[in-house]
Amino acid sequence: MSQPTDANARDFETMAIVGVGLIGGSIGRAVKARGLARVVLGVGRNASRLEAARRAGLIDEPLTDLSAAARRATVIVFCTPVDRIVAGVREAAAAAPAGVLLTDAGSVKAAICCELANGLPRGVEFVGAHPLAGSEKQGFEHADGELFQNRLCVVTPHATNSRKAIERIAEFWKRLGSKVVEMSPEVHDRALAETSHLPHLAAAALAGTLSAGNRELAASGFRDTTRIASGDADLWTAIFLENRTEVLASLSRFNALLTRFREALEKNDAGALHEWLKAAKISRDSLV
């Protein structure tokens, strides 16, 4: 990891992280390890949790007052549940100095980015982002400064973003070790419904189908397939609601495939079952 130049370091001089959980805590650790900011403010509602995160070395200064943090910040990264990002950004933007850059790490982008494309104070920009990294685990105790290394981060600008702001956010994630791709919030949400939200739904439905009496017989295949179902129910309720249309569309395609399988099995149609399974295997094997 190359050391930042002075110019780069100044870019992210005072960074506020709002929501110091797994993702926020990992960003804090990574930023501090790489010297990307002079000071990292941690913002949250629970002062004792924030103080513990400070003691763990994830942030420099705990603050429960978002506006107070915003007044001092150069860059503010929102790592709260997706249903709290818009209100948080509006509150921070009202207090922040001109030139502040706001971004997030939410798993859903269209609802947030469209809402924040307009109405922010002059000189304050929000650029959405979504690092494809995480875990079914919760809390800063699981924070990992290498969480974003070699992962993909999707930056989802809207029409009113300046190229300069987009580039600064892309640069930030690259400095955390991620590969950055840019796409519209809508394209992101359609893709993530398929690659993340539907898999969560299927994993949860499998876990929900498991009878208590059969737990002992759940081996590694079941465990891997359902691991993400341990994700936080609050976080995921918000994600599903915010990406409702695309999740429902993905679920329809998934159901259509299940129906084709069921019909083939009901008819004892070995050829059709084989073809169905082979197509799925080819798709899965294409992920190297």
- According to CB under 8 A, which residues from 152 to 181 bind a copy of itself? 152, 154, 181
* Residue 1 in the binding site for a copy of itself (CB under 8 A): no
Q: Which of residues 132-151 bind a copy of itself (CB under 8 A)?
A: 132-134, 151
- The least CB distance from residue 280 to a copy of itself, in Å, is 4
* Residue 241 in the binding site for a copy of itself (CB under 8 A): yes
* Residue 254 in the binding site for a copy of itself (CB under 8 A): yes
Q: Segment near a copy of itself (CB under 8 A), from 6-14, 29-37, 92-100, 215-223?
A: 215-223
* Residue 253 in the binding site for a copy of itself (CB under 8 A): yes
Q: Which of residues 192-211 bind a copy of itself (CB under 8 A)?
A: 192, 194-196, 198-211
* Residue 87 in the binding site for a copy of itself (CB under 8 A): no
Task: Report the interhelical angle of 198-209 vs 244-266 (nearest 10°).
Answer: 50
- The least CB distance from residue 198 to a copy of itself, in Å, is 7
Q: Segment near a copy of itself (CB under 8 A), from 23-31, 96-104, 115-123, 252-260?
A: 252-260
- Pick from 103, 123, 100: which is nearest to 112 by CA? 103
- The least CB distance from residue 248 to a copy of itself, in Å, is 6
Residue with smaller CB distance to a copy of itself, 4 or 199:
199
Using only the alpha carbons of the chain, give its radius of gyration. Answer: 21
| 3-state SS track over the chain | CCCCCHHHHHHCCEEEEECCCHHHHHHHHHHHHHCCCCEEEEECCCHHHHHHHHHCCCCCEEECCHHHHHHHCCEEEECCCHHHHHHHHHHHHHHCCCCCEEEECCCCCHHHHHHCCCCCCCCCEEEEEEECCCCCCCCHHHCCCCCCCCCEEEEECCCCCCHHHHHHHHHHHHHCCCEEEECCHHHHHHHHHHHHHHHHHHHHHHHHHCCHHHHHHCCHHHHHHHHHHHCCHHHHHHHHHHCHHHHHHHHHHHHHHHHHHHHHHHCCCHHHHHHHHHHHHHHHHCCC
Beta strands 39-43 and 61-63, pairing class: parallel
* Residue 182 in the binding site for a copy of itself (CB under 8 A): no
* Residue 191 in the binding site for a copy of itself (CB under 8 A): yes
* Residue 214 in the binding site for a copy of itself (CB under 8 A): yes
- The least CB distance from residue 111 to a copy of itself, in Å, is 13
Residue with smaller CB distance to a copy of itself, 6 or 216:
216
Among 27, 30, 58, 228, binds a copy of itself (CB under 8 A): 228
Residue with smaller CB distance to a copy of itself, 108 or 202:
202
- The least CB distance from residue 149 to a copy of itself, in Å, is 13
Among 12, 113, 236, 246, binds a copy of itself (CB under 8 A): 236
Query: What are the φ and ψ backbone dihedral angles of 146, each rounded to 5 degrees?
Result: -105, 10
* Residue 249 in the binding site for a copy of itself (CB under 8 A): no
